[in-house]
Amino acid sequence: MMFIWYILIGIAAGFIAGKLVRGGGLGLFLNLIVGIIGGVLGGWLFGVMGIWTTGIIGSLITATVGAIVLLAIVSLFSNKKA
């Protein structure tokens, strides 16, 4: 049952991060990937900073922050011409 929660939180976190960083969602599959990787990255970043979250809301915040950081890093390396 927890695996389903991780997937749902990953999708939501990826969607929120996509809206905040790029102004639009990335699609269900990319939202899931960005959210899951963001959850791991956010958990690591929060652990380094000594911040601990609990519950579904805490997991969503952690994953969203990690997904935003991930999208910011990806945008640094993208080859967009301005």
**Which pLDDT tens digit goes with each residue over 8-56?**
888 888 888 888 887 666 677 777 788 888 888 888 999 999 998 888 8
pLDDT for the residue 80: 62
Query: What pTM does this model have?
Result: 0.81
DSSP 58-69: HHHHHHHHHHHH
Here the tokens at position 20 are 């905040």
Instruction: Tally the domains of the chain.
Output: 1
User: What domain range is 42 assigned to?
Assistant: 2-70
Structural domain includes residue 65: yes
Q: Which residue has the higher pLDDT, 3 or 58?
A: 58
- What pLDDT shows up at residue 38? 86
To 10 degrees, the CA torsion angle through 8, 56, 52, 22?
50
For the chain, how long is the longest CA-to-CA vector?
45
Domain assignment of residue 16, yes or no: yes
Give the Cα separation of 25 and 29 in Å (integer).
Answer: 11
Q: Is residue 76 part of a domain?
A: no
Q: In this structure, is residue 82 part of a structural domain?
A: no
Give 1's pLDDT tier (boundaries 50, 70, 90): low
The answer as to whether 10 is a domain residue is yes
